Amino acid sequence: MDPGCSRLLPALCAALADPRQPVADDTCLEKLLDWLQTVTEAGSSLLLLQENPCLVELLFHVVKSQDLSSRILAFSLRLAGMFAAQETCFQYLQGDSSLFVASAAGQLLVHVLDLAMRGPAEGHCGPQAHAWPACAQEIVCHIEASLRSTATPQVAQALNVLTTAFGHYHGLWMQGLWVRLSPLVARLLERDPVPAAHSLVDLLLSVARSAGPSPDGGLWETLAQTLSRLSPTQAGPLALGILQLQGCPQALRTQAFGRLLQPLACVLKAAAQAPGPPGLPEGAAGDSVTVDTLLSSKSACVGLLCCALAHLELLQPLPQRPSPWPQAPLLGAAVTILRFCNGSASPTSDVGGRLCTILVGCARVQRAALDFLGVLSQETGPQEPVTQVFAILLEYLVSPDSSPMVLKKAFQATLRWLLRPPRAPGCCDLDPHPQLFLGELLPVLQKRLCSPCWEVRDSGLEFLTQVTRSWGGQAGFRHALLASEVPELTRQLLRDPESYVRASAVTATGQLSSQGLHAPPASPEHPGVQQSLLEELLHILSTDAEGFPRRAVMQVFTEWLRDGHADVAEDPEQFVARVLQAASRDLDWEVRAQGLELALVFLEQVLGQRGSRCAYAVALPEAAPPGTLAQALRALCRVQLFEFAFRALFDCDRPVAQKSCELLLFLRAKAAPYGSPQDAGGSPDVASVEATLQRWQAGEQGQPLGHLEPGAVMAVLKSLDLEGLRDTLAESSDHVEKSPQSLLQDMLASVGVLSENEADCY
Amino acid sequence: MMALPYITEHTGFTGTVYATEPTVQIGRLLMEELVNFIERVPKAQLASLWKNKDIQRLLPSPLKDAVEVSTWRSCYSMQEVNSALSKIQLVGYSQKIELFGAVQVTPLSSGYALGSSNWIIQSHYEKVSYVSGSSLLTTHPQPMDQASLKNSDVLILTGLTQIPTANPDGMVGEFCSNLALTVRNGGNVLVPCYPSGVIYDLLECLYQYIDSAGLSSIPFYFISPVANSSLEFSQIFAEWLCHNKQTKVYLPEPPFPHAELIQTNKLKHYPSIHGDFSNDFRQPCVVFTGHPSLRFGDVVHFMELWGKSSLNTVIFTEPDFSYLEALAPYQPLAMKCIYCPIDTRLNFIQVSKLLKEVQPLHVVCPEQYTQPPPAQSHRMDLMIDCQPPAMSYRRAEVLALPFKRRYEKIEIMPELADSLVPMEIKPGISLATVSAVLHTKDNKHILQPPPRPTQPTGGKKRKRASDDIPDCKVLKPLLSGSIPVDQFVQTLEKHGFSDIKVEDTAKGHIVLLQEAETLIQIEEDSTHIICDNDEMLRVRLRDLVLKFLQKF
């Protein structure tokens, strides 16, 4: 332990032992314990105790004290346990109100149990319970008593302990434990309602996972029984867990999948105009309990449907999901739920009528169903009701009642359906469905971009950016987009009062412009009023008061430079110079970091790719034949890239400095093989640059570097300890704040309040 | 409110009308606008022969389908409006108004418009709430007072939203988006509207929206004979506004931002399209004007002017009229039509929350609210769902409200109360007999001490019939208590009666004294002794019965 901490520890121990002190929260105590653990692991515990008698005093005090808080008691017990790791006789602390204490107590029990079972001669304890050591017997009896208890919290604690055990240990004795306890667990299913259902599900899944590929047959039976015994809401997580298990019998998987699908089956059945099979696998048919749950209350209905949708959404991309995957009925269910929610379903059944009343206008279910619908786009089915999907998505996009969040989800689902891989391979243009849909979608997008609600404008722009990124090259899309007012509206949103919208508008116009889809030039009545997009974005970069739009501009500019955007390609040097100048003054570190990203792209273009051996330069319009380092360096000097990078090297924000360091290291590596163009090592120029850099490092960044010669730059680069700087920067920025000394100081500071108050009393 | 002159001026009405001040002032503006619109285009002659049923049958639809045309009246005059308004007595929220001593009437804020009210009608033991157009949304008026509606015996629920499927927030969004799209394309926007109400909220939304939508240079015109008064009145009714707007008044700032729109020349208002407006008129622009039916008022002019261009848009925001019917005479029409009805009154979800909160014993509502709208018969959510089911009524139906008046409150004069001698008959309950004169006037009942009997003066008896006073001296005592049959029988036996038989009856017991051929019928609230002409026996038995009862 370092001396700083040793000095602080006595005061802290005294504070912990003082019941009047409002001692630190659980998290602090956990951290303190973690730290002491690392200290004991690094050296001798005995030495630690000898050097810090305050720790022993704390433990003594705790034993005597009557009115200590349970968290300090637990902390001290664990501390004592740490120092005397062989001791196995700790009190049961499971009932403690503190989550940490309860969980620690549970873990402790499990560890003690494991320790006892492994015994002195490892592996000796078999499944035969009568041969277990007394300590293990006692713990198991305690767990048994808890499982028999009528108090749900106690049952839950026992189940949680067992879950921890099966999650951590896989010894032979675990099988014995399960054989002994499983009848008690199974008996829980006979109670009504089943107590601590969540914990029970966790335990059964934990046992099933730990049991490996061929567990005892009884387990599958218990799982099947539990599946049918739990309420629909409780059964969902179990069903999902079963479907994720390896080596699970097919019958159980079928039962689990059916259980998962039941709520959707009920919805489909309730909405059906004429009786007929809904097309979901057998076992999914909605049972009366599910129907009752759906209709019992709005919150139960919403909860059950949202869980069912979320579980199926998780299941869909998994390799072990059931096959065949009932794509068409699932799509039908998602669409039906969305129809219930927007009031466009016209069910004839009573259940349908009730569902309609419950679900209409329910944003939570709408969001869940739209997410699920989006996920289903990744699937191909034989007879997909794609037309229905696009129709319902359009209804949601058009409806004035769609809340901003629902609208965002509708845009996301629409995007996924629009961008799913073409059905006919090799076909380069759009499928007929999306193409038709597009015609109706763009007027909606247009209106949404004019919404008074900024979240809606923002989601509209995000959607536009993504769809353009994927479809920008397709004739059908280009034609429809250019015929609409969307590009013009997008450009107008660059002046939106909301910064998030401005940022999204910057990204969207940047993307449109990259694809040659930007707004047509200024109207004939006002020629010249509209400045070029490049100028407009530069204006945003240098004047916008909020960081988001400026960051977005930097990203767009980086992409433009990388992709050789026409406006940039005219004069890349001037472009880079102007952007770096604006970025260097920016107060937002992300803008400066992005500036370095742009500088790197430029660097790669004049010097060749990073990581590639051949140093080729992208042809600069006015540059002489590429390849000569001197020319490249002169270009970098002209755009003042070095001034920008050197400033960034001493940036107060670590990521900026790190990035700059990488950039300069790359540059030095690139230039090294060629040697320095001229030996400028001792020139006055170099000395003045180094002096300026030292001042910058000291925090005085006012002075400019002035014009630099490539020779001087290379000399400075060589003289700088960039590797050392990189290592320093690589240390976590909070390595100071995370230190144990800082933890002790913080904890003392929080109890310090009391001592100050006491002083005031005198 | 708009029908008030018809009631007060043409039905022989002689009563008082109660209304809040903004209701009167804004109601006057609305009626003034209507009268102005109608009188601007006087009809050369009035035709009424078509109202004859035989002729009406032959007319084209929708005239031939119109009901009760004989009751249709031509519009009232400003004189009649003033006369009607003069009969109004102003009231404030939560003010208690006594009606003939029988009931108390109290207006409560309904949150729908400036001064709009729900009413409580209550006696000492009964409470009826009348809920008319109310809103739970945060708009400009004072929020709806729900707490005062609690503990109602009956809640009469009317004035729900006319467009239950249209959410006002969504509609305002639609309104703004469509307005911006039209104006950006160089088109004009026409908003047929009333001169007060939703327009205040629309202007406020636009105030926040126009800068973001790049519409700062677009003029907004508000044309109505009462435009100026409406905009100004709204600013002075501070006490009737929502809390946010009230606090602005103390800053001091105008509560509505339309003041700033006017100051910055973004919103201009004119009494009509003639005069200044024609000089200032600049396109593209947004015009708010009446009448929302499109049958009269300046809006007619703009429909004619802009109807032919598809660049222009008419946006309907008032829910009172079918926009398709309003547009019918203008067809074919090139201009775009957008229907964004903004009705902030309660929808069925809000009603269900309100009823849960207020918990009336009974709900009474128009029949239409008890079933889904005919066009959306599957929407079970678009009806009132409460327990017990709401009691519905039809137009002009007379209903007996589902409660009985059981109690009446009677006051006792202090000197009379002093003279009472209460007797505790069981813990916490005391009884006392009272002799008094019940004085009833204006539906108030007071017990006063009886006048003292006049002492006969001298030896002369000059008593006249009219001087008779109630004889209070020979009052028989009141009895209370119950007779335990077993003990009663034992007592009878002690007193020499034998051969006693007891029979149980539905209401009590019959004690038969077979020898004496006598029957004593004991019931909860009466005891009869039936014996043949043996008064001595009856009196003996009576005294035995009385031993078991308390007297006072």
pLDDT in tens, B257-316: 899 999 999 999 999 999 899 999 999 999 999 999 999 999 999 999 999 999 999 999
CA neighbor of B113 nearest in space, from B16, B276, B241: B241
Lowest-confidence range among A383-387, B162-166, B531-535?
Answer: A383-387
pLDDT at residue B426, rounded to an integer: 82
More confident call, A276 vs B118:
B118
pLDDT at residue B77, rounded to an integer: 95
pLDDT at residue A611, rounded to an integer: 47
Q: Is residue A500's pLDDT more than 90?
A: yes
Q: Is residue A124's pLDDT more than 70?
A: no
Contact A451 B172 (CB under 8 A): no
Which residues of B fall within a CB distance of 8 Å from A448? 177
Using one digit for the tens of pLDDT, what is the confidence trace for B119-162? 999 999 999 999 999 999 988 899 999 999 999 999 999 999 99
Contact B214 A492 (CB under 8 A): yes
Contact B340 A489 (CB under 8 A): no
Q: Which residues contact A648 (CB under 8 A, 6 or more apart)?
A: A592, A595, A596, A656, A657, A659, A660
- Smallest Cβ–Cβ distance between A452 and the set B173, B340, B385 belongs to B173
Which residues of B fall within a CB distance of 8 Å from A486? none
Contact A357 B380 (CB under 8 A): yes
Specify the DSSP element, H or E, that contains B392: strand B391-393
Give residue ranges of B with CB < 8 Å to any A CB. Answer: 165-167, 170-174, 176-178, 180-181, 184-185, 205, 208-209, 211-214, 340, 349, 376, 378-381, 385
CA neighbor of B190 nearest in space, from B333, B299, B271: B299
- Smallest Cβ–Cβ distance between A347 and the set B172, B211, B378 belongs to B378
CA neighbor of A665 nearest in space, from A723, A578, A709: A723
Contact B380 A353 (CB under 8 A): yes
pLDDT at residue B120, rounded to an integer: 97
Letter for the amino acid at A660?
A: S
Q: Report residue A683's pLDDT band, with 50, 70 and 90 as the boundaries.
A: low
Q: Report residue A714's pLDDT band, with 50, 70 and 90 as the boundaries.
A: confident
pLDDT at residue A623, rounded to an integer: 34
The CA-based dihedral angle spanning residues B375, B380, B382, B388, taken in that order and rounded to the nearest 10 degrees: 130
Average pLDDT for A295-312: 92
Using one digit for the tens of pLDDT, what is the confidence trace for A74-115? 888 788 777 765 333 344 665 444 555 566 667 777 877 777
HSE-up of A336 (CA within 13 Å, CB side)?
24
Owner of token pair 């409580």: B120
More confident call, B89 vs A650:
B89
Which residues of A fall within a CB distance of 8 Å from B385? 357
pLDDT at residue A14, rounded to an integer: 86
Which residues of A fall within a CB distance of 8 Å from B211? 497
- Smallest Cβ–Cβ distance between A450 and the set B205, B211, B213 belongs to B213
Q: What is the secondary structure of A445-480 as a DSSP string? A: HHHHHT-SSHHHHHHHHHHHHHHHHHHTT-HHHHHH
Tell me the pLDDT of chain A averaged across its residues: 81
Contact A348 B378 (CB under 8 A): yes
Q: Is residue A425's pLDDT more than 80?
A: no
Chosen for mutation from A348, A350, A357 (greatest number of chain B CBs closer than 10 Å) is: A357
**C-alpha to C-alpha distances, B230 to B30, B256, B343, nearest whole angstrom:** 9, 12, 20
Q: Is residue A416's pLDDT more than 90?
A: yes
More confident call, A95 vs A162:
A162
Q: Is residue B24's pLDDT more than 60?
A: yes
Average pLDDT for B216-231: 93
Cα separation, A306 vs A366, whole angstroms = 9
Which residues of B fall within a CB distance of 8 Å from A401? 166-167, 170
What percent of chain B is modeled with pLDDT above 70? 96
Peptide bond just before A195 cis, omega within 30 deg: no
Which residues of B fall within a CB distance of 8 Å from A399? 170
pLDDT at residue A204, rounded to an integer: 93
Highest mean pLDDT among A41-50, A116-125, A288-297, B70-79: B70-79
Q: Residue A517 burial by CB count (10 A; 0-12/13-18/19+): exposed, middle or buried?
A: buried
Using one digit for the tens of pLDDT, what is the confidence trace for B302-339? 999 999 999 999 999 999 889 999 999 999 999 999 99
Q: Is residue A392's pLDDT more than 60?
A: yes
pLDDT at residue A130, rounded to an integer: 67
Which residues of B fall within a CB distance of 8 Å from A452? 172-173, 176-177, 205, 208-209, 212-213
Distance of residue B179 Cα from the nearest chain A Cα, in angstroms: 9
Distance of residue B23 Cα from the nearest chain A Cα, in angstroms: 31
Average pLDDT for B14-18: 94
Average pLDDT for A9-24: 80
The tokens of A400 are what? 């004035």
pLDDT at residue A745, rounded to an integer: 78
Using one digit for the tens of pLDDT, what is the confidence trace for B466-481? 455 555 555 677 788 8
Q: Is B313 helix (H, G, I), strand (E, B) or coil?
A: strand
pLDDT at residue A174, rounded to an integer: 79
More confident call, B470 vs A37:
A37
Lowest-confidence range among A266-270, A550-554, A756-760?
Answer: A756-760
Average pLDDT for B206-217: 84
Which residues of A fall within a CB distance of 8 Å from B177? 447-448, 450-452
Q: Are B475 and B435 in contact (CB under 8 A)?
A: yes
CA neighbor of B186 nearest in space, from B284, B49, B259, B266: B284
Q: How does strand B127-131 pair with strand B154-157?
A: parallel
Number of neighbours of residue B213 by Cβ within 10 angstroms? 26
Q: What separation, in Å, do the N-terminal and C-terminal C-alpha atoms of chain A show? A: 36
Which residues of B fall within a CB distance of 8 Å from A453? 173
Average pLDDT for A550-569: 94
pLDDT at residue A286, rounded to an integer: 63
Q: Report residue A30's pLDDT band, with 50, 70 and 90 as the boundaries.
A: confident
Contact A399 B185 (CB under 8 A): no
Using one digit for the tens of pLDDT, what is the confidence trace for A201-240? 999 999 888 865 455 668 888 999 999 899 888 999 999 9
Q: If you count them, how many residues does chain A have? A: 762
pLDDT at residue B377, rounded to an integer: 83
Which residues of A fall within a CB distance of 8 Å from B351? none
Q: Report residue A19's pLDDT band, with 50, 70 and 90 as the boundaries.
A: confident
Highest mean pLDDT among A56-65, A148-157, A343-352, A704-713: A148-157
The tokens of B141 are what? 């008026």
What percent of chain A is modeled with pLDDT above 70? 82
- Smallest Cβ–Cβ distance between A450 and the set B171, B180, B379 belongs to B180
**C-alpha to C-alpha distances, A152 to A158, A193, B13, nearest whole angstrom:** 10, 10, 71
Question: Phi, psi (5° rounding) for residue A322?
Answer: -60, 145
Q: How many CB pairs under 8 A join A and B?
A: 75
Q: Is residue A719's pLDDT more than 80?
A: yes
pLDDT at residue B143, rounded to an integer: 94
Using one digit for the tens of pLDDT, what is the confidence trace for A358-381? 999 899 999 999 999 999 998 876
- Smallest Cβ–Cβ distance between B170 and the set A356, A401, A454 belongs to A401
pLDDT at residue A108, rounded to an integer: 72
Give the residue from chain A lying closest to B211, CA to CA.
A497
Q: How does strand B267-270 pair with strand B220-223?
A: parallel
Distance of residue B187 Cα from the nearest chain A Cα, in angstroms: 14
Give the residue from chain A lying closest to B352, CA to CA.
A357
